[in-house]
Amino acid sequence: MRDVYHKQLDSISRSLVEMTALVGMTLERATTALLKADLPIAEAVIAAGDEVDALQRALDKLTLDLFARQQPVAGDLRTLVTSLRMSTYLERMGDLAGHVAKIARMRYPATAVPSDLRATLKQMGHIGVELAGKIGKIIEGRDLDAARSLDIDDDAVDHLHRTVFAALTSSPEPYTSETVIDVILISRYYERFADHAVAVAKQLVFLIAGEEDRTADVKG
């Protein structure tokens, strides 16, 4: 019985890693769709939203099932509660990548982003993809230091977000309102994507640190 249980716990962890990979790939493709005004890629990203949702539903079902059947305590209980929270954040990251793709689709065949802001948004997308990869690795290896270090990436994205604000408001040739709206929302989607990645990492810190506390309690 315990073997089945631990296989199910592993399966939850694998599903979470799978979700990080999917939302990372989705954001990468959304950025490509945005910067290359590539309609088929934008459509594919938007369709992939259903895939993320399906993964989340399957994962939550498994988690609730484990709650109900196994009545977990202590560390396992924390793992399940943490998984529920992480899957919510990861699903939201998929939504945000989808929002970027929807703006790309709305402006096709034009590009939503003026040439002087492309590098900044590309960089925001790049850091977002890296963050998704990092949290996947952290979930696999449960590496507490790495989880804490994600704040540096998040700060970089926040800085780029402020750069976008400054560029939009101080350009000698004013942008159209449409461009200002598109770019500020895209920038915010990237910024929120990074925030959610950090939120996933914080859940892991809570989980692992909690277990360390518990180990300390047992030792003491």
Where are the strands (E) in 76-193, listed by range? Answer: none
Closest CB to a second copy among residues 47, 64:
64
Closest CB to a second copy among residues 41, 112:
112
The identity of residue 161, as a single letter, is H
CB of 185 to a second copy, least distance (A): 7
Closest CB to a second copy among residues 129, 135:
135
Closest CB to a second copy among residues 115, 176:
176
The span from the CA of 110 to the CA of 125, in Å, is 20
CB of 74 to a second copy, least distance (A): 7
Separation of CA 36 from chain center = 22
| CB burial string 102-128: b at 16+ within 10 A, e below | bbbbebeeebbbbeebeebbbbbbebb
The span from the CA of 29 to the CA of 125, in Å, is 10
Closest CB to a second copy among residues 97, 129:
97
CB of 107 to a second copy, least distance (A): 13
CB of 25 to a second copy, least distance (A): 25
CB of 168 to a second copy, least distance (A): 5
The identity of residue 157, as a single letter, is V
Cis amide prior to 109 (ω within 30 degrees): yes
Q: What is the binding site for a second copy (CB under 8 A)?
A: 64, 67-68, 71, 73-74, 77-78, 81, 84-85, 88, 165, 168-169, 171, 174-178, 180-181, 184-185, 188
The span from the CA of 116 to the CA of 122, in Å, is 11
